[in-house]
Amino acid sequence: MSGHIRAVIDTNALQHNFSVIRARAGAARVMAVVKANAYGHGLMATASALRAADAFGVARLEEGILLRRAGITQPIVLLEGVFDAQQLERAAEHRLDLVVHDALQIGLLERPQAGAQRFVLWIKIDTGMNRLGFPVAEFAAALERLRRLAPAARELRLLTHLACANERDDAVTREQLARFRHATRGLEYAVSIANSAGLFGAVPLQCDWVRPGVALYGASPFADCSAEDLGLRPVMTLESSVIAVRRVARGERVGYGGAWVAARDSVIAIVAAGYGDGLHRSLATGAPVLVGGRRAPLAGRVSMDMLAVDVSELGEVRIGTPALLWGPGLAVEEVARHAGTIPYELLCAVNQRVQLVVGRPEAG
C-alpha cells in the first residue's frame, strides 16, 4: 500500500444492506438516499450498485442531473425541490421528481411555462421537525392548489420527516405519526415516512415508501445498537498506512500543543490521515485505530495530514504497516463517539483528496 489514505467501497456490502432493508420494508418500495455524494461513498458507484432500488433521493438538482447523465433510469427525487423557473426547467429536462414543501414552489408549478411537464410531486407535511414542509393547518390548501395544476401532476404523493426516530420507541415519533395520519385522513395517495431509524425502530410506520440513508452504508442510526446488531455490514473502509515510526522517551510530548505526554518509553506510529482528509480534529486521545489489524490508541491531536498512534503494545510496526480508521473490525459509530459526533458526519466529511476505490483490489 502507498502512504496515502483511501476509502475502499465494498459494493457487495452495499447490496447486502439493501437486501436487509428490502426485507425489513416488506411491501414498501425503497428510495435509496444517495445525497451528499452518497454519504461520502461516491454517488455514481453507489447508484450503479443499487440498480434494484425503486428510486433515488438526492438533495440538490446537480446530484440528480449527474445521475441521469450516468445512465440512471429509476425515478430520482429532489428532496429539497426547486426554487426558481430555471431549476424547474432543468428538473423537467432530466425527468426528476419534486418534493414540494413551500408555497413558492407551488407558484412555480402554476406558471404557464411549466405546463409542458407533468411531474411526480411529493408534498411534504411538517409534523414537528420544523424544518421543511407545509404545517398541518396549511396542508389542505396546498394540496388543493396542486390538484388544480394544468396539466395535472403525473402523480401526487405525501411524505413527512421524523425528528426523533433514532430514539427508538419515542413519544415524539408517535406524536408526529398521529399528526400525519390526522392531516391525511381519507386520502389515498402513497406516503413515505420511514428513514433508516424509522425503518428499524419500534414504532410501526405503515408507509408505501421507505427512505433509507445511513443504514444503506452499514452504519446504525441508533446510539444503543450497532450496525452488526441490525444485520448490516460496513460499506466504507477508510484506510491508510504508517509513514514513520518514532521512539519517544518517557515525559516527551507528541504533536501540536504537546497534548500527549509519554507515560513511559513509547513507540509512536505516524499514519497518513488527518483533518485535511476529513477526519475530525475533535477525535480524542485514546480513540482506536487498527494498526496491522490490532487496536492502538490515538496519541494527541489529529493534524492536517497525519495522526499519531501509540503502538507500544503491538510489537513490530514499520513504514507501510496498514492502518484502518474505520471499517470491518472498527465500526464508524465507535469512532464517531470518540469524536463527539455521529457516523453520518464522519462518512460525509471524507474529503475529495481521499482516493475512492470501488471494491478491494486483488493482492499482489
Give yes or no: residues 130 and 260 share one domain. Answer: no
Mean pLDDT of 14-18: 97
Kindly state whether residues 242 and 180 are assigned to the same domain: no
Residue 27 lies in a domain: yes
Do 147 and 72 lie in one domain? The reply is yes
- Phi, psi at 214, each rounded to 5°: -60, -30
Tell me what the mean pLDDT of segment 157-165 comes to. 94
Same domain, 75 and 156: yes
257 domain residue, yes or no: yes
Q: Is the pLDDT of residue 167 over 50?
A: yes
Does residue 296 share a domain with residue 255? yes
* Domain boundaries, position 190: 11-219
Q: 296 and 147: one domain? A: no
The rounded percent of the chain whose pLDDT value lies above 70 is 97
124 is known as an active-site residue: no
pLDDT tens for 23-69 read 999 999 999 999 999 999 999 999 999 999 999 999 999 999 999 99
The answer to whether 305 and 298 are in contact (CB under 8 A) is no
For residue 253, give the CATH number of its domain.
2.40.37.10
Q: 195 and 333: one domain?
A: no
How would residue 197 be classed by pLDDT, with cut points 50, 70 and 90?
very high
**268 pairs with which residues across the strands?**
246, 310
Query: Where is 33: in which H helix or E strand?
Result: strand 29-33
Helix (H, G, I), strand (E, B) or coil at 316: coil
CA angle at 294 for the pair 293 and 300, rounded to the nearest 5° = 115
Exposure of 91 in the CB half-sphere (CA atoms within 13 A): 31
Q: 88 with 82: CB under 8 angstroms? A: yes
199-232 confidence digits (pLDDT tens): 998 777 889 999 999 999 999 999 888 999 999 9
- Quick one: 128 and 17 in the same domain? yes
Same domain, 37 and 122: yes
- Alpha-carbon Rg for the chain, nearest whole angstrom, is 23
Is 167 inside any structural domain? yes
- The domain that holds 206 is classified in CATH as 3.20.20.10
Which residue type is seen at 52? A
Q: Can you give the pLDDT at residue 206?
A: 86
| Residue, of 12 and 352, whose pLDDT is higher | 12
- Predicted local confidence at residue 76, as pLDDT: 98
Would you state the pLDDT for residue 166?
87
Q: Dump pLDDT digits (tens) for 139-158.
A: 999 999 999 998 889 999 99
Q: In sequence order, which residues have a C-beta less than 8 Å from that of residue 95 and are 6 or more positions away?
A: 68, 76
**Residue 95 has what pLDDT?**
96
Asked if residue 258 belongs to a domain, the reply is yes
Four-residue CA torsion sign, 214, 219, 225, 231 = positive
Give yes or no: 217 in active site: no
118 and 247 both lie in a single domain: no
Cβ proximity of 301 and 255 under 8 Å: yes
- Do 209 and 250 lie in one domain? The reply is no
The pLDDT tens digits for 273-321 are 999 999 999 999 999 999 999 999 999 999 999 999 999 999 899 999 9
Residues 168 and 23 in one domain: yes
Of 184, 219, 254, which residue is a domain's last? 219
> Is residue 225 one of the residues assigned to a domain?
no
Query: Is the pLDDT assigned to residue 363 strictly greater than 80?
Result: no
**Cross-strand pairs, 289:** 296
Report d(CA 75, CA 260) in Å as an integer: 51
Reported as a pLDDT band with limits 50, 70 and 90, residue 115 is: very low
Of 35, 39, 124, 217, which residue is the catalytic one? 35
Helix (H, G, I), strand (E, B) or coil at 192: strand
The percent of residues in the chain predicted with pLDDT above 90, rounded, is 87
Inter-helix orientation angle 103-110/136-147, to 10°: 10
The cell for 98 is 419534486
Domains contained in the chain, number? 2
What pLDDT is recorded for position 274? 96
Residues in Cβ contact with 184 at an 8 Å cutoff, skipping those fewer than 6 apart: 125, 158, 191
Active-site residue among 39, 217, 256, 344?
256
